[in-house]
Chain A
């Protein structure tokens, strides 16, 4: 009964809209639709929502300046929940029913992997702002672009510097038990092995864990010089607080969005002294970043972090590509994306031959008085 009435209502609405649309001439230009698949529910919902925020800010900015090809950008969001099946369904819907021109998503590497063949089959450019599994750009999918660092790159960029700066001889890992956590640990370990740094422990925790006392106690008794934590906001906040409560003596280096205000808020004063390796920090120097931070603060009352910056830069890259292509033809956009040369808050971004971004700036930050102070910056070099 419910479905039938809904169907009637839907048809009626459709009829009214159609006649209204046909009746008037169209003075408004047709919006350019960009599909955004991010987790809006589940354990990484917070970070997924941050990506969308950044993307929206970029779109609004662009629209205020006149849009792309004279048309406004319109974001069509869908909840991929970081699940392959959900993300695939979202992609199908965005492509066929919502008729988007470009896809952005899907956050978790597993979900992105599932969407990639769909993008290829439909000749739809897919740009990810987050997915870090190295294999994604090795698969030869010409429609897929990655505007993010890979686990291997983070390790390569930071590992050596970390060891030198902190004089580390032994390290322990505490990571979330998923493709990102495991991938990052593996990447770091391969660099550390070459530098003769021993790994005393590798602990993994479930996405939904909230009590880290057990792995932290094990790490505490192993007494490593450095503890590398790979965790997202929702887990990382609790983890660090508990590490401090347990009086963990080792230095802690975090990979993930560790400079967001939410994280800093959750952890409180315990965050001071933390090191983190981030592809973005609100306190990073540069005029473009300062502008971005100012606007984000004005819109959301807090500083942007890794994910909002990623969403922002990705949307800008997409918009510029469409502008460069001069049309919404997917092959043209694909070609235009390859020629990306975008100077934004995260660096001067370009894609290499495998559609992997480079020019991205990676920072080592230390939290001091509740703010992330940049201690060192490395620029992602071109790989090939």
Chain B
């Protein structure tokens, strides 16, 4: 019984870890490239889930149609916010910028509360069937779907960053902003693209979590904080780092909660952050001059 418990905990941990990784991915890009501590990330996460719930429950769209629609909206939201707000603050001190993202988060979360109501929302997947058994270990169908989509999204993002021109431009700006500008790369466009990408990834994570669990506005802040924990663990700006960090966090929380105590489960991440920052501040996979991708 102990072994199958361990396996169940481990599987739970990997599943949540995948979600953490996806949530953290967008934040890592924004943090790494634009140097912004984006507290609104959690609000975008919730927004994605809320819109997907609207699309699938109220409008009756099937999931495969709802997801691209919502993602397009999220991209637009991200681009508009960057262009209208963050672009103006590009040279500002970290403190006002952080506060602006906090203000943005407060506005978004409360407005969602007003528009969508206080009820927790579901994203309909259409998968109501029985869970899948792997020996004694259980995983539900919607979780399998969510993992699949997360993995696809992570791979797609990696391909975007390593194989496309846009991705190369991003990496250039991340590594050497001045040189990139001198080489003629449109910095403003790259920033906008990065932020929109980050926002969209957050939205996707929200959709998937809304499908597996529930979405409601009070989850915005905890989601943002978890994402920060993951990127510190993995190393800022490192894509494999975000993935590794996410899975590691998921596993650590699940195993600790399973074998020691569930009361402190959420504190595990913070303890890990403290440990990492003291002994290896650049994170598990971040080199001092961290690279994107």
Q: Hey, which bits of chain B sit against chain A, CB under 8 A?
A: 1, 5, 8-9, 12, 15-16, 110, 113, 117-120, 122, 128, 131, 138, 140, 209, 213-214, 216-219, 222, 253-254, 257-258, 262-263, 265-266
Asked whether B209 lies within 8 Å of A217 as measured between CB atoms, the reply is no
Which residue of chain A has its CB nearest to the CB of B209?
A210
Q: Hey, which bits of chain A sit against chain B, CB under 8 A?
A: 40-43, 45-46, 48-49, 177, 203-206, 208-211, 213-215, 217-218, 221, 233-234, 237-238, 245-247, 262, 266, 268
Which residue of chain B has its CB nearest to the CB of A269?
B128
Contact of A237 among B12, B15, B214, B222 (CB under 8 A): B214
Nearest Cβ in chain B — how far from A14, in angstroms? Answer: 27
Q: List 24 A-B contacts (CB under 8 A).
A: A41-B113, A41-B218, A45-B113, A45-B118, A46-B118, A46-B119, A46-B120, A49-B118, A203-B262, A203-B263, A204-B263, A205-B265, A213-B15, A214-B253, A214-B258, A215-B262, A218-B5, A218-B257, A221-B5, A233-B120, A234-B216, A246-B131, A247-B131, A266-B214
* Given A203-B263, A262-B119; 11 other pairs, CB 8 A cutoff: A48-B118, A205-B262, A209-B266, A210-B219, A214-B9, A214-B254, A214-B262, A217-B258, A218-B257, A245-B131, A246-B138
Contact of B214 among A42, A215, A234 (CB under 8 A): A234
Known A208-B218, A211-B16, A238-B214: A266·B258 in contact at CB below 8 Å: no
Q: How far is the CA of A217 from the CA of B5 in the complex (A)?
A: 7
Asked whether B12 lies within 8 Å of A214 as measured between CB atoms, the reply is yes
Asked whether A210 lies within 8 Å of B213 as measured between CB atoms, the reply is yes
Q: How far is the CA of A245 from the CA of B141 in the complex (A)?
A: 10
Known A210-B213, A217-B8, A221-B5: A177·B118 in contact at CB below 8 Å: no
Interface of A is mostly: helix
Which residue of chain A has its CB nearest to the CB of B225?
A208
Asked whether B214 lies within 8 Å of A247 as measured between CB atoms, the reply is no
Known A215-B257, A247-B138: A234·B120 in contact at CB below 8 Å: yes
Could you say which residues of chain B place their CB within 8 Å of the CB of A218?
5, 257-258, 262
Q: How far is the CA of A213 from the CA of B143 in the complex (A)?
A: 12
Contact of B266 among A41, A206, A245 (CB under 8 A): A206
Asked whether B218 lies within 8 Å of A214 as measured between CB atoms, the reply is no
Q: How far is the CA of A219 from the CA of B128 in the complex (A)?
A: 24
Which residue of chain B has its CB nearest to the CB of A41?
B113
Could you say which residues of chain A place their CB within 8 Å of the CB of B257?
214-215, 218
Q: How far is the CA of A234 from the CA of B12 in the complex (A)?
A: 21
Q: How far is the CA of A48 from the CA of B119 in the complex (A)?
A: 11
Q: How far is the CA of A187 from the CA of B132 in the complex (A)?
A: 38
Asked whether B120 lies within 8 Å of A266 as measured between CB atoms, the reply is yes
Could you say which residues of chain A place their CB within 8 Å of the CB of B16?
211, 213
Nearest Cβ in chain A — how far from B50, in angstroms? Answer: 14
Could you say which residues of chain A place their CB within 8 Å of the CB of B254?
213-214
Which residue of chain A has its CB nearest to the CB of B113?
A41
Asked whether A211 lies within 8 Å of B138 as measured between CB atoms, the reply is no
Could you say which residues of chain B place their CB within 8 Å of the CB of A213?
8, 12, 15-16, 254
Asked whether B213 lies within 8 Å of A217 as measured between CB atoms, the reply is no
Nearest Cβ in chain B — how far from A279, in angstroms? Answer: 21
Nearest Cβ in chain A — how far from B143, in angstroms? Answer: 8
Nearest Cβ in chain B — how far from A247, in angstroms? Answer: 6
Nearest Cβ in chain B — how far from A55, in angstroms? Answer: 16
